[in-house]
Amino acid sequence: MESAAWVKTTRWVIKPLVFVACLLPALRLAAGAFGVAGVSLGADPVAALLHGCGRWTLNFLMITLCVTPLRDLTHSVFWLRFRRMFGLYAFFYVVLHFSVYLFIDQNGKWNVLWQDIAKRPYITIGVLAMLMLVPLAATSTARAMRRLGQRWTRLHRLIYAIAILGVWHFWWQVKSDIRQPLLYAAGLTLLLGYRVWKRRHAIRRALGARGLAGAAGVGGATDARGQRETLRKA
């Protein structure tokens, strides 16, 4: 159990600090874009902005996916307080990324966007992943969570597909050096693999706890499903 003082500190001190920290990459890019404080984005500021925002979208997707494993490892719900913020930051950075692409790189030519979506698979999946984040961001409020109940959990599992599409989008556009996208893919495999493992482990344990009844057939299977539902709620 967390003490009331700790909850307060988290809410009024740690959370605002984390909020500002998450904003720093955007501030740095903005400073570079406007030449503030001697920050420069180099010879190709458009590419630097575009790739910077894209990279931080992926980073925040990864960070968001780290929350559950961290909770399990540390047996602490502390991390859960930041999950919504991380997810919303992923959305924030992807909107910036998309805006830089459309309004700066492509000079706001929507017809180029439609052509790119139709012709270039990496853009197709990139836009798809961004659109999939929209309902998640829209239902991030406590009220939406209550209203949707079990459906909220199911809906927010979209994050797995979004992260896969995001890394794929990155991988598909590098010229020959795949080391960076490979790193993200490896991280994502680990984070998603952990969830698969946990689930299997839980089912096996549930079956084991019921002894032979689990193997006996229908009853056991139903129990396992029930157990799974309980876990989902966790």
Q: Which residues bind another protein (CB under 8 A)?
A: 33, 42-47, 49, 104-107, 112, 115-116, 119-122, 172-173, 175-177, 179
Q: Which lies closer to another protein via its Cβ, residue 78 or residue 122? A: 122
Q: How far is the CB of 102 from another protein (least distance, A)?
A: 12
Q: How far is the CB of 33 from another protein (least distance, A)?
A: 6
Picking from 83, 48, 76, 55, the residue whose alpha carbon sits closest to that of residue 159 is 83
Q: How far is the CB of 63 from another protein (least distance, A)?
A: 23
Q: Which lies closer to another protein via its Cβ, residue 48 or residue 70? A: 48
The Cα–Cα gap between 173 and 136 comes to 26
- Are the beta carbons of 147 and 140 closer than 8 angstroms? no
| Structure tokens given for 138 | 């829209």
Q: Which lies closer to another protein via its Cβ, residue 123 or residue 133? A: 123
Q: Which lies closer to another protein via its Cβ, residue 3 or residue 107? A: 107
| Structure tokens given for 31 | 């400073």
Q: Which lies closer to another protein via its Cβ, residue 89 or residue 170? A: 170
The Cα–Cα gap between 103 and 177 comes to 28
Q: Three-state DSSP class for 220? A: helix
Residue 40 CB neighbours (<10 A)? 11
Q: Which lies closer to another protein via its Cβ, residue 33 or residue 163? A: 33
Q: How far is the CB of 162 from another protein (least distance, A)?
A: 21
Q: How far is the CB of 174 from another protein (least distance, A)?
A: 8
The Cα–Cα gap between 203 and 205 comes to 5
The Cα–Cα gap between 203 and 226 comes to 10
Q: Three-state DSSP class for 175? A: coil
Q: How far is the CB of 29 from another protein (least distance, A)?
A: 11
